[in-house]
Amino acid sequence: MPPAESKHTRGAAFLAYQKNKLHAAAAVIGAAEAAASAGIRTDLQKLVPTLKFFQGFSEATLSATVDVLTAEVMPDGGIVMAQGEHGDRFYILLTGDVEVDIDGHVVATLHAGSAFGELALMQEGEFAVRAATIRCVGECHLAWLGRHSYQRLIRRETELKFLPLVEFFRANQLFRDAKV
């Protein structure tokens, strides 16, 4: 005859069962997040090269741009940026719509595939002030690029464009012997 189970043994078994269920649920959620992240990355790889802000960037820099973008979900009515505040992010609207409000008046509605906030990356200090309030109309999925990441990308792009020229001068005897 099997020994009688104590309440403690049954409780421990139940907790172990619940813990296993929790781990399984976390694995499913993690897999779903990874799939969603891969989908966002694929969308960004297609979208980023089409944006005017990134025209002229090499494929290597465009790929690096996608790598440093941060995804964010904003609720209906969420304020992405407020007029007058200092900004340091450029946004790409992946899904949803946003209203552009200047001085309390909606002047435009932007749709998925639009980008905004680029002046904040190119200007600093008192000049990096938001010209409009951007408000979500429904839930919105966005990706953003911060000023410091943008500056690193610009340095990288500059180096990629000038490296062949530098190598040319280094390899050419005429320029190696020149005294400047």
Q: Report d(CA 1, CA 94) in Å as an integer.
A: 65
Q: Report d(CA 96, CA 76) in Å as an integer.
A: 9
Going by the DSSP 8-state scheme, the letter that residue 61 receives in this structure is H
- Please name the residues in contact with 170: beta carbons below 8 A apart, sequence gap of 6 or more: 176
Going by the DSSP 8-state scheme, the letter that residue 111 receives in this structure is E
- pTM for this one? 0.69
The larger pLDDT score, comparing residue 131 to residue 12, is at 131
Residue for token digits 């719509």? Answer: 97
Q: Using pLDDT thresholds of 50, 70 and 90, give the confidence band for residue 98.
A: very high
**Residue 6, Cβ density class (10 Å: 0-12 exposed, 13-18 middle, ≥19 buried):** exposed
**pLDDT tens digits for range 62-84:** 999 999 999 999 999 999 999 99
Residue of 56, 48, 60, 51 whose CA lies nearest to 156 = 60
Q: Using pLDDT thresholds of 50, 70 and 90, give the confidence band for residue 100.
A: very high
Q: What percent of the chain lies above the pLDDT cut of 90? A: 44
> Is the pLDDT score of 123 beyond 90?
no
Going by the DSSP 8-state scheme, the letter that residue 86 receives in this structure is B
- Please name the residues in contact with 158: beta carbons below 8 A apart, sequence gap of 6 or more: none
Given 3.30.2130.10, 2.40.50.100, 3.90.550.10, 2.60.120.10, which CATH number is that of 45-170? 2.60.120.10
> Is the pLDDT score of 2 beyond 70?
no
Instruction: Please report the pLDDT score of residue 176 as a whole number.
Output: 64
The full set of domain ranges for the chain reads 45-170
**pLDDT tens digits for range 22-52:** 444 444 333 334 445 667 888 899 999 999 9
Q: Report d(CA 34, CA 45) in Å as an integer.
A: 16
